Amino acid sequence: MLTKPKIHFKTLVFLISSLLSHHSIANNKTHFEELFSTSVVLTDSETITLGIGNFDPDKLLKPHEQSFSESDSIKLRNELTVYSIPYTWRLTDDKSKTKDKAKKEKSNFFYLDELTASLSYLKQENKNDLLSNSSITDDNKDEVFSAYLAYSRHRQLTENWNLRVRFGSYLMHHKNKYRYNSDESKQYQDQLDGVFLNLSANAFIIEPNVKLSYSQKKDWGKWEFNNDLNVFSGVTFKGAKSSQDAKPTGWRLNNGFKFHFNVNQSKFHAESIYVKIQRSDIGGDMVSSLGTDHFYEFGVGLLLDTRKFTKLADNIGIGINIHKGSALSGGSIVFYFNEL
């Protein structure tokens, strides 16, 4: 069995202001649908890749035209954190069933089965003064624990085209802890506790996926185009009464290019420059949280081929990723594991 882990550092959007509006209180199911749907999107590293050392790229490009105040999106990125560790096992492919070595080498078009399991932890921890006119702020902490399991089948259509069909499911547990520190906010405690704050909720979500990719090797390295469609739907169960009957749903379509430029291919080193350009279109319950129905990502970094040293990763590296067009717009330093 082949096991290859990834670790990603990302962010989760829980906009506490929406919790405290009278509109949201009257539509409590909407909040939990947005919460779990946003968690699904941010668990997918192929859709959003966020890291550490967040910065505003616009201020770097136009330092004389920008103020030194922290933008809302950078502030949100700094408040939120996600740790995700998936493992992928290669099960079987049709080449393994062929005993004739010559036939194996000639067999270019094959099936490949994989099983992916992932554990994720998402957290937002911030200070909130929306209910208080004083300098005393409340403490808010949101956590989502997620377990993901998926079966994938790859089919090589031609020498360059590959089709992947995958069916996955999420089991999620949400927990909120809110501390009322001001006299003003304590007046709302009875209305909010157990409805939006100081509660737990659970969700089960299924997600089919279809991905069509084209790759080609060149003298300078290789490049790849991906068209990746995910659709998900789920239900909440047990947990707080206010979360019952919520049905998080949504979809996302990623279209992007990846480039791998060889820099050093010596006997003991295999270094390359990695470039990613992608547009993501989204629909469903997470659109409100992210503040858009589409966004863009651009990434560049340096990768080191590690296959000679370990079986845990094909490559590792470091780079910069810029996210543009959503409530999480900004740049960050990212660490790459099995990126290409």
DSSP string, 89-129: EEEEETTTT---HHHHHH--S-EEEEEEEEEEEEEEEEEE-
The pLDDT value given to residue 32:
93
Give yes or no for a contact between 308 and 326, defined as CB atoms under 8 angstroms apart.
Answer: no
Alpha carbons 164 and 340: distance in angstroms, whole number:
16
pLDDT under 70 in the chain at which residues? 1-27, 61-70, 93-109, 130-134, 267-269, 340
Nearest-angstrom CA–CA distance, 338 and 313: 6
- To 5 degrees, how large is the angle CA 187–CA 126–CA 40? 110
Which of 95, 96, 208, 204 shows the shortest CA–CA distance to 151? 208
Look at residue 20 in the predicted model and tell me its pLDDT: 41
Quote the pLDDT of residue 309: 80
- Domain range 28-92+109-337, CATH architecture: Beta Barrel (2.40)
SS3 for 219?
coil
Q: CA–CA separation, 210 vs 249, rounded Å?
A: 17
Express the helix, strand and coil content of the chain in percent, nearest 5 each: 15, 50, 30
- Check if the beta carbon of residue 202 is closer than 8 Å to that of residue 245: no
Q: What is the pLDDT of residue 1?
A: 32
In three-state form (DSSP H/G/I as H, E/B as E, the rest C), the secondary structure along 13-56 is CCCHHHHCCHHHHHCHHHHHHHHHHHHHHHHCCCCCCCCEEEEC
- Res 108: pLDDT: 54
The ranges assigned to domains in the chain are 28-92+109-337
CA distance 45 to 41: 8
Which pLDDT does position 4 carry in this prediction?
36
User: In sequence order, what E strands does 191-265 have?
Assistant: 199-218, 221-237, 249-264
Q: Which residues pair with 256 in a beta bridge?
A: 226, 278
DSSP 196: T
Exposed, middle or buried by CB within 10 Å (0-12, 13-18, 19+), for 234? buried
Note the pLDDT tens digit of each residue in 121-144. Answer: 999 888 877 665 667 888 999 999
With beta carbons less than 8 A apart as the criterion, state whether 228 and 253 touch. yes
Q: How far apart are CA 132 and CA 274, in angstroms?
A: 48
Residues 43 and 121: their CA atoms lie apart, in Å, by 9
CA distance 109 to 93: 10
Could you tell me which of 25, 68, 45, 42 has the C-alpha nearest to residue 250? 42
Cβ atoms of 253 and 284 within 8 Å: the answer is no
Residue 190: what residue type? D
* Amino acid residing at 79: E
